[in-house]
Structure 1
């Protein structure tokens, strides 16, 4: 039966790779399990539809809507202007601004695409004006936007906590350490690479100008700065659930966007709702089909059989962890992060537990690996969007993106995998 499950996953991956519409991809995989594997679909379909009524999933559309509102309302622009006053005159400083701005956006939206949508139109043209190659600027913003999947709150960690019955707060905090490390790595790699470019830097402000501008821009950015404090403080302080925090984010973003930053109008509000609804519909459809397929695997005891197959091959924990990382990386290259987590997490969690890996530690491992899929072809949805927003050709973006992946992301994957304290420090700090 393990062979049938692997065949169904292979069919799913191949059909997704060649651009077959999503329902048909999952339909083909389900047919393999049903016809060849003899698994009944009726009960699993009803079960999957029932799972979609879980209140936890309500946080996903709300965070997506909050991120969309933030990108059009002016909140992101005010944060960008505040950060730029400190390092806009430093060689490579504008790239560092991009990285930290996307990390901050991630702490509000929980989505990887929001950073590209909010920061890209503002920062990529400015980076090009300063002398950065367009492809490099687009790649840096795209890679930095991946931090939205790691800096909490994260939509993918909501899904992970739900499908594995792990504390969502602990899963949020598990990716915080790796997310901060990637932020630092991206900033350092950018500062090194920026030495090759002939940049036109801002004039270094004198102390008086710095104080005056900092005060002015801080006052202007204060409503935007309050948003992550409200969301994260509410969740980590135990005042709000992730779903309630997402609702508060939407409620907060609307009046701030309308009356303070005035980037939000009734037309852009309606367009944001439509855009969010489209994204949510696609995500929920993926979740439903992924749930049905993963439940079929569970009913046939595929996770337990997979553990046995791997243990028959090797019982070396280091080798198993390396194989798991390779598998997660390959799957992330082909399917989106939500689909990958729903399909792979229930399959691999019993194996991780068998070799002593904490479910919260595994949340960080799977979170970092699947996040890379957003910038790694052929899937690379965040990278393609970054190229489109930045007006660059995909081939111009891929090379610098792979440089960031090799020197900023892959070291973090290894550290996250083999040094559990990086992902467990913050959960333990909050009592996990």
Structure 2
């Protein structure tokens, strides 16, 4: 039966890769389990719709809507101007601004594409004007936007918590350490690579100008800075659930976008709603069908059988974790992060428990690995969007992106996997 389950997953990934509409992809996998494996679907469809009634899942469309509203409202521009006053005159400083800005956006939106949409049109032309290659600028913004998948709140961790019955707050905190480390790594790699560019730097402000401008820009950016404090403070302070925090984010973004930053209009708000609805529809379909498929796996004890198969191959914890990382990396190259999590997480969680890996630690491992899929071809949706927003050819973007991948992301993946404290420090700090 393990062979049938693997065949179903293979059929699913192949159909997703060649562009078959989403429901038919999962339908093909379910047919493999039903026809080839003889597994009954009786009751699983009703069970799947029942799981969709989970109120926690409401946080997903709300966070996506909040991120979309933020990208068109002017919140991102105010954050960018604030950070730029401090390091815009430093060689490579504008690249650091890109990374820090995307981290701030990630702390609001929970999405990887929001950073590209909000920061790219503002920062990439400015980086090109200063002397950065267009492909490099687009790659840096795209890679930095991955932080939106790791720095809480994260849509992917909401999905992980739902499909594995793990605390969503703990999963949020698990990816915070790796996300901050990637932010630092990207900044350092950028500073090193920027040495070879002929840059036209901003004039270094004197102390009086720095104090005056920083005060003005801080006041202007204060409403935008307040948003992540409200969301994260509400969640971790126990005042708001993730769903309530997502609703607060939407409610807060609308008046701030309309009346403070004036970037939001009725037309752009309607467009943001349509864009969010389209993304949410695809995500909820994926969750429904993947829940049904994973339930069929559970009914046939596929996870436990998979554990036994792997243990027959090796019982070495180091090797098993290495194989899991390779599997997650390959799957992330083929399908998007949410699809990868809802397919692989329930399947591998029993194996992780069997070798002594805490589910919260596993959340960080799978979160970091699947986030890489957004910048790793052939899937690489975030990278392709960065190239499109930056007006660069994909080949120009891929080469610098691979450098960021090797020097900034890969060390973090290894540390997250083999040094549990990196992902467990913040959850333990908050009592999880």
Partner Cα distance (1:42, 1:121) in 2: 50
Q: Deviations over 1:187-231 (max 9, x none)?
A: 000011111111111000011100000000000000000000000
Q: Deviations over 1:245-282 (max 9, x none)?
A: 00000000000001100001111111111111111111
1:135 has 2:144 as partner: no
Q: Deviations over 1:334-375 (max 9, x none)?
A: 111111111111111111111100000000000000000001
Partner Cα distance (1:296, 1:380) in 2: 30
Q: CA deviation at 1:426?
A: 0.3
Partner Cα distance (1:157, 1:108) in 2: 14
Which residue pairs with 2:231 in the alignment? 231
Which residue pairs with 1:427 in the alignment? 427
Which residue pairs with 1:248 in the alignment? 248
Partner Cα distance (2:418, 2:371) in 1: 18
Which residue pairs with 2:358 in the alignment? 358
Q: Which ranges in structure 2 are unaligned for 5 or more consecutive residues?
A: none
Which residue pairs with 1:349 in the alignment? 349
Which residue pairs with 1:8 in the alignment? 8
Which residue pairs with 2:332 in the alignment? 332
Partner Cα distance (1:402, 1:69) in 2: 31
Which residue pairs with 1:82 in the alignment? 82
Q: SS of 2:413's equivalent?
A: helix
Report matched runs for 1:91-110 at 5 Å: 91-110=91-110
Q: CA deviation at 1:76?
A: 0.4
Which residue pairs with 1:280 in the alignment? 280
Q: How does the TM-score come out when normalised to structure 2?
A: 0.99
Which residue pairs with 2:66 in the alignment? 66
- Pairwise CA RMSD: 0.7
Partner Cα distance (2:46, 2:389) in 1: 40
Q: Deviations over 1:42-72 (max 9, x none)?
A: 4212211111111000000000000001000
Q: Deviations over 1:5-44 (max 9, x none)?
A: 0011111111122222222211111111110011122421
1:199 has 2:190 as partner: no
Q: CA deviation at 1:96?
A: 0.4
Count of aligned pairs between the two proteins? 432
Partner Cα distance (1:309, 1:336) in 2: 27
Q: SS of 2:298's equivalent?
A: helix
Q: SS of 1:35's equivalent?
A: helix
Q: CA deviation at 1:295?
A: 1.2
Of residues 40-49 and 238-247 in structure 1, the stretch that sits farther from structure 2 once superposed is: 40-49
Report matched runs for 1:255-274 at 5 Å: 255-274=255-274
Partner Cα distance (1:88, 1:47) in 2: 54
Partner Cα distance (1:139, 1:313) in 2: 39
Q: CA deviation at 1:119?
A: 0.4
Q: Which ranges in structure 1 are unaligned for 5 or more consecutive residues?
A: none
Partner Cα distance (1:18, 1:193) in 2: 36
Report matched runs for 1:217-228 at 5 Å: 217-228=217-228
Partner Cα distance (1:224, 1:292) in 2: 40
Q: How does the TM-score come out when normalised to structure 1?
A: 0.99
Q: Deviations over 1:121-160 (max 9, x none)?
A: 1001111111111111110000000000000000000111
Partner Cα distance (2:214, 2:226) in 1: 17
Which residue pairs with 1:392 in the alignment? 392
Report matched runs for 1:158-169 at 5 Å: 158-169=158-169
Partner Cα distance (1:274, 1:250) in 2: 15
Partner Cα distance (1:411, 1:289) in 2: 34
Partner Cα distance (2:19, 2:126) in 1: 34
Partner Cα distance (1:218, 1:42) in 2: 58
1:375 has 2:375 as partner: yes
Partner Cα distance (2:382, 2:42) in 1: 35
Which residue pairs with 2:289 in the alignment? 289
Which residue pairs with 1:18 in the alignment? 18
Which residue pairs with 2:303 in the alignment? 303
Partner Cα distance (1:178, 1:205) in 2: 34
Q: SS of 2:43's equivalent?
A: helix
Of residues 139-148 and 40-49 in structure 1, the stretch that sits farther from structure 2 once superposed is: 40-49
Q: CA deviation at 1:285?
A: 1.1
| Runs of 4+ in structure 1 over 6 Å off | none
